Every structure is written in structure tokens, then in C-alpha cells.
Structure 1
Amino acid sequence: MRLILAAPRGFCAGVDRAIQIVERAIERFGAPVYVRHEIVHNRHVVQRLERLGAVFVESLDECPTDRPVVFSAHGVPKHVPEEAARREMIYVDATCPLVSKVHVEAERHYKAGREIVLIGHAGHPEVIGTMGQLPEGAIALVETVEDARSFTPRDPAKLSFVTQTTLSVDDTAEIVGELQRRFPEIAAPHKEDICYATTNRQAAVKALAADCDIVLVIGSETSSNSKRLVEVALRAGAGKAALIEDSRAIDWRELDGAATVGITAGASAPESLVENLIAAFEDRFDLAVEELRVTDENVVFKLPRLVA
């Protein structure tokens, strides 16, 4: 069996920062520290932080006012920190800086009098957070090329777009292309909103997919960037592709007849899960392991002052 490991893979700078924020908050304030929504979309990460003293909730109403609360890496609507401040809570915002960049862009467009199109997936926490930065109706959600074709703006001359940071690069390019075809004056982000980590992980999967009988993506079912990696692998020529939470989730019958397997991990999946998966293969096959690296990543984000 030949295993090809995609690189880069796994944790991005925003995820690493968010996890560190929870760990530092527990060190500084003691347990429990409350976290609004899963800090990142990975059950293994969440369970480890729970063992350290994190309590995950979905609403500020579930948090006592005398304990710190951390906001997840996906970002939150503006009313959440406002409510925390009103209740005089200690809070730390772990929103990825690249998501915060999208929030700032949306605010800039709004102040310039533009209607904003957000390309993203309905119900995803990042989309909820971005739409919650501005008054209701200021942002219109577009999920597909078909949505872009049927969208009717209030004024085509005063239109802009931003995107969720974890989308398929190719799918998003199609949607943007349709919007720009229909509305040539639409204002674009100064720099692409899809984050460097999403772009790099998709590029690595594209580079190995055509050589693979199957590509295994380690990640959570709730992780947008992980699910996109499965789609990218299939589109790039992999025989099969599957999202698995960890090595225990493999259906080994799916690998019957496979000679080459690609492995990657979504941006919220720890490298330990990749190591465990390789070990599971070693128990069953005579392995040749290689890494296919498309770029190096050296991005680091500063921690908030409260936990730095």
C-alpha cells in the first residue's frame, strides 16, 4: 500500500490560536471556562478541552456572569459581545483574524451604502456571525451559482460581495464569476476572503487526488473546510473520497483493491489523528509513505492581550 500525505494539512493558524486562547484562559482563571459554541469543529479537540475545564454552550444565557467566556473561532454576531459587556462578563474573542477581516469588509461596504452579498452556507456559524455584524437585510446570502443567477439587488450600482473563509475555491470562483457577469460594478474584497489555509489544503488535495484510488479526509461532519476537501478530491480525479472522524471510522472494505491512498486533514483536525490513521494502516499493510507538499505555511496570529 502506498500512502500519500497531503501537505499542508491539519491545524491552521486561526484554529491553533483559538485552542491556545481556551487553554490560556483556563490557566489564568481556573476551571470552568465557558466557550460559546465549539471552539473549532472537531470532537477530539472539544473533548480534550472539556477535560481541562472548558464547558461548551450555545448561548450566553447558559453562562454564569462570574466565569469567563470565550467566543469560538467562527465569529459571533455583534450582539453577543455587546450582551456580555452589558452583563459585565469577562470575555475573550477567539474569532479567527481572517474571519474578522471579512466582518470589517462588510462594515466598510455597508458604510459606503452598498448592499452586500455573502457567499456562504446557510446556518454555518461563520455565516451567522458575519450576517450578525450588520442590521437585518443589509446582507443577502448566496449559496450557489443558481442563487447568483436569480439574485435581484436593490441597486446594481451599489453592490458588493464577501465570502465565507472555508469554501471551495473553484465553486466560489464560479459564483463570483456569475455575479461579476451580471453586475460588472460589484465591489470585490481587497484580498480574497477564502483563507490561505483553505486554499493551501485544497491545492494539496488537487495535487495528489488523480494518483489515488481513494482519498481519506480526517475531519468533522460539521467542518465546512473538511467537507470541501472531499468534494475537491473527487473533482480532481480521486477514485473515491471519504470524510472520517478518526481511524476508527474507516470501513476497511472500502479499501479492497486500493493500491494508493491519499490522506489529508481539515484545518480543525489535530495531527495526532493523522498519526493514528497511519498506524492503523501499518497494522494491516506493508506501507510506503510519502508526503506531497505544495507550499509551506508560517502564519502565526497574536493572542488577545487578556490571555497573552
Structure 2
Amino acid sequence: MMGRIDNQMQLLILDLDSMIPENHLLRQIKNSVNFDFIYEKASSFYSHTGRKSIDPVVMIKMLLIGYLYGIKSERRLEEEVSLNLAYRWFCELDLMQKIPDHSTFSQNRRRRFRDNTLFRDIFNEIIMQCINMGIVSGNTVVGDGSFLPGNVSVNSSIEVIETVQQSSIHYLDELEKEMSEIPGYKEPITKEVTKRTLKSTTDPDCGYINQKRKRGLGYLTEMTVDTGHGIITGVNCYPANHRESDIILNHVKQQQEALPIDIKVLALDGGYDVGAVHRGLE
């Protein structure tokens, strides 16, 4: 007899937890990371009166899902979390709960979380949990920069003329102070020069990179990774017209000030082979 699906309406009691495999990435993360600290970190950005907001932990978990599974559009992220049982389970949203609207993310970035360190504080707290579990030591790390293309249209590019002060590159306050105390030291001559560069009307923060293999508007991301288990311990993002050797010292210093790690070995490629970087690391 030919089978046919019975579309009769049924009443079911569904346990989402039983449907997520033990080896699923999101289950492994949920079993290892306690996200409740976010409520305390974000408490100062919310009023104690009025209508309840979207749960900040749900927002962070949704952004993490977008990063882990390459979902770059927040409209699509809203749709995927709505349809995917594992995503709903990870965000602790049952089948009847409404998914936060995609505009919630952009509005919170533009208003509530703008010009503060909340996302960096959350990142550092998760690294602290990794340190406490013994999977991050910070003793040996590798660092590198990578060009991240901006999500902008070529048609948004405009040429601008800027007047900038041309002087020695800033590496590290302590290094520059040490150099200034050397007998015979002279302040570098500063002069104003006019530069032509490209900007984007839709993303004015990005910069233009012009290399043999990389060209376009975007950002330079600097990362360091603990070699023990391949966990990222630090991330910084700059306009693409910066150089890796200019930013590495402050990048490392920022981690050592925020986290209880003492970097003993730092592996870098030839792009960092600059005298000031050598001295700064010493």
C-alpha cells in the first residue's frame, strides 16, 4: 500500500534538549561557558523601570551563532534562529517565543552600546573562564594581522583630500619616553602633508588598502592566539590603511593589562621585523 503523510493536527510535548546531539558545537559551548555574567556587565545600560527589554544574553548568543555559522546578515540571522531548533535551544527560546527583530541589533549598537567597552569586557570574561579551566595560559602565542573587506559597495567610494601631520609612527608610550631620555635625542620634525585617499559614504570608519594582493576598502584585524588549544586571546580592529608593525605593541599590552597572562613567547612574521617592535617587546 502506498504511504501518505497524515496531516492531522496533533498535540505534542517537545523536549528540545533531547533533540540536540551531545557532540553538537552549541551544546559543547553551552556546557563549557556560563553566559550569566553578561547581565551584570550590561546592567548599567538599562533602566530599572519601564517595559522589559530584549534579554541581552539572547542578543549575544545570537551574534555568536552568526559568527560561528557565517551568517553575516542580521535579517537572515533572525530567520535562521527562528527556524533552527538547535539555535533556539542554545538561546533558550522555546517554539512559542518570538525571535528578536533584526533591527534590535543595529539600534542597540547605535544607541545603548555605542562608545563603551561592553563587547570587549564580555570577550575578556570568556577568556577568563578559559584561563580558570586551564585551557589558556598565555605563555606562548602567535600574532598576525589580516585584511577584512568592508561590507560596502564599490559605488559608495569617494576620493577625499586630507591634511595630516606626518611624523614618526607611534608604537608605545613607554618606548617613546625611553627614547626621549637618550642623550642627543631630538623631537621628530612634524609637518603637514596633503593626502588623497578613498573613503566610503556608507562606512566612513574603514580605510583603503593598496597592496599587491589586497586592494579595497576595509579593516585591519590584529589577533593573537594561545597555542595550547588555539583560542583567540586578543582582537583589535583598525582602518585598513594602518600597518601591522604600528599596532602590535599596544595590542599585546592591552591583553596583559586586562588578563592575568604573562606572554613569554610571541611568534610573528616578517611584517613585524621593525627595530621599534624589537625594542618594545624587550
Shorter-normalised TM-score: what interval?
Answer: under 0.3
User: With structure 1 as the length reference, what TM-score do the two structures score?
Assistant: 0.25
Greater gyration radius: 2
Bigger relative contact order, structure 1 or 2 (CA pairs below 8 A, ≥6 apart): 1
User: With structure 2 as the length reference, what TM-score do the two structures score?
Assistant: 0.27
